[in-house]
Amino acid sequence: MERQENKYKYGQLEQFKEALELGHIKRKMLVVNIIIILLSGILLYFAIGQNIDDSLVYPSILMLGIIVLINIGFYHVDHDLYSNLKLAMYTTIIGLYVTANVLVFNFLTPSVFTVLFLTYAIVAVYQDLKAMILSSSALFISGFLLVNESPRIFSPTEDGNPQIIYVQSFLLIFVLLLTLSSYILIKRKTFFYNQLASIKESELRNIELMEEVAFINTKKEKDLSPYYKSIEDFNKALSKKIGVPDLLGRRISILTDLKTNSAVDLTQKYKDYTLEEIQELEVLQFDVHKKMQQLSIKASKSLDINVTKKEIFSESQFKSFKHIGDSRYTQIISFVVFYTLLKIDKPYLKKLDEAVIKDMLYNSEFYYRVDRDIIEVYLNNSEVFDTIVNDYLKGGF
């Protein structure tokens, strides 16, 4: 039976991972473009100061400049920045390898062959799986074409005949090793991004749980009207204190009107504001997106918490039953305790049927968080587990 890996996956996780990846791409793109500008300066130095034929260097400098301009253009596109930066990244990779091949085939010396590996090192800054595959493929194809078109530059002597098959084999092995090392680094980055996204998702769900518990305890809906009044009073006091006209009055009016009107409707009432500006104010609503509410709760509960660097990525942050150093007995007991809690009634969660537990353990991330041998024993003998529970485990807390 095929696993349904997305059956129990929360939609928020993908949003959090995309947000993390977006920040990563922005930083890496800045680094790559700085390196490209430095390379352009080095090539310009060789063209001017080393009496190298301009026609061999200036086309490459022009191509590098075009790559930087393309990246700037993609970065300033208003919508879907994540996809635009991804496209800019792939365009940069192709452009860099085209530039590297132009330099290699223009000079055709053994030393210039290192330009291809320099290009691979620049692209490795992105730490992206698809970018790594594209870069490795481009490196191998470029090297393969160079070996076949100009084998003489790899000859140890001027009159020697290089063994092309050996050079190609070495190139293949070298590219595979580079790809493997890059793949390990990318998987490590992905692992931490997944954990950070999971921690973020758990944090927001805990905040929502706190709100539900507060409502159950008080039986009162939260009164949000003072929120907008407080913003208005603070704005007036701020404007008066610094001696300037009302700075945010109309925006606060828009924020208040958003409780009963859509952003599109308000563009007719506030004609001096664009739809995008009004949509930005929607995020500040306290009772719709709840971002401000979640931030305030987190700030109030984080006052006395001290987290050191060692604790940020400690094993205790990762929800798993597999820990290095745990004996097989400890792993079995952990699973038994977990399974028992799922099978008895609790104040916060009713017991689950065997079919539900089996489906959850098979299709959710618990499939990877429980030792594989233990999870296989359970999945193959779930009826036995259910019989034991029915015979010996009654009631609940």
Structural domain harbouring 355: 320-392
Average pLDDT for 239-262 = 82
Q: Is the pLDDT of residue 73 over 60?
A: yes
Boundary of a domain, candidates 179, 197, 215: 197
Give yes or no: residues 15 and 161 share one domain: yes
Residues 289 and 379 reside in one and the same domain: no
Spatial contact of 250 and 270, defined as CB atoms under 8 Å apart: yes
Give the pLDDT score at 70: 93
Are residues 45 and 136 located together in one domain of the fold? Answer: yes
> End of a domain among 265, 299, 333?
299
Clarify whether residues 181 and 235 are in a common domain. no
**Is residue 168 included in any domain, yes or no?**
yes
Banded pLDDT at 274 (limits 50, 70, 90):
confident
Task: Please report the pLDDT score of residue 95 as a whole number.
Answer: 94
Lowest mean pLDDT among 7-11, 189-193, 277-281: 7-11
- Residue 253 and residue 344 in one domain: no
The residue with greater pLDDT, 246 or 98, is: 98
* Rounded distance between C-alpha atoms, residue 43 and residue 41, angstroms: 5
- Residue 219 in any domain: the answer is no
Residue 324 CA to residue 335 CA, distance in Å, equals 16
- Please tell me the predicted confidence (pLDDT) of residue 176: 93
Model pLDDT for residues 321-377, shown as the tens digit of each residue: 777 777 888 888 888 888 888 888 877 678 888 888 988 888 887 888 888 888 888
Spatial neighbors of 77 by CB under 8 A, at least 6 apart, are: 84
Find the length of the chain: 397
Contacts of 189 (CB under 8 A, 6+ apart): 24, 127
Q: Is residue 41 part of a domain?
A: yes
Q: Are 110 and 248 contained in the same domain?
A: no
Look at residue 85 and tell me if it is in a domain: yes
Q: What is the pLDDT of residue 315?
A: 46
Token pair of 24 as six digits: 């990563």
Position 376 in a domain: yes
Q: What is the pLDDT of residue 200?
A: 80
Residues of the chain with pLDDT > 70, as a percent, come to 89
Q: Which of 197, 212, 244 is the last residue of a domain?
A: 197
Task: Judge whether 339 and 324 are in contact, CB under 8 Å.
Answer: no
Sign of CA dihedral 41, 42, 45, 51: negative
Contact indicator for 352, 340 with CB cutoff of 8 Å: no
Q: pLDDT tens across 184-221, in order?
A: 999 888 888 877 787 787 788 888 888 777 777 887 77
Distance of CA 338 to the CA centre of its chain: 31
DSSP 396: B
Query: What's the confidence (pLDDT) of residue 173?
Result: 93
- Within this chain, do residues 158 and 291 fall inside the same structural domain, yes or no? no
Rounded Cα–Cα distance for residues 177 and 319 (Å): 33
Q: What is the pLDDT of residues 141-150, one digit of tens each?
A: 998 888 888 7
pLDDT at residue 159, as a whole number: 56
287 and 383 together in one domain: no
Look at 391 and 182; give whichever has higher pLDDT.
182
Q: Considering the domain boundaries, does residue 207 fall inside one?
A: no
User: How confident is the model over 220-235, as pLDDT tens digits?
Assistant: 777 777 777 888 888 8
Instruction: Tell me the sheet residues that pair with 345.
Output: 396
Domain count, the chain: 3
Q: Is 10 exposed, middle or buried (0-12, 13-18, 19+ CB in 10 A)?
A: middle
Phi/psi at 345 (5° precision): -70, 140
Mean per-residue pLDDT for 81-109? 89
Q: Are 258 and 285 in contact (CB under 8 A)?
A: yes
Task: Give this prediction's pTM.
Answer: 0.68
Do 290 and 333 lie in one domain? The reply is no
Average pLDDT over residues 165-170: 83
Surface-to-core class of residue 48, CB atoms within 10 Å of its CB (0-12 exposed, 13-18 middle, 19+ buried): exposed
| Within a domain: 175 | yes
Kindly write down the DSSP assignment for every residue of 317-357, as one continuous string.
Answer: GS--S--TT--HHHHHHHHHHHHHHHHSB-SSS----HHHH
Residue 120 and residue 230 in one domain: no
* Inside any domain, residue 312: no
Q: Is the pLDDT of residue 316 over 50?
A: no
Q: Decide: 97 and 106 in contact? Cβ < 8 Å.
A: no
User: 163 and 125, same structural domain?
Assistant: yes
pLDDT digits (tens, 9 = 90+) for 118-164: 999 999 999 899 999 999 999 999 988 888 887 776 666 555 556 78
Please check whether residues 116 and 241 belong to one and the same domain.
Answer: no
Which amino acid is it at 376? E
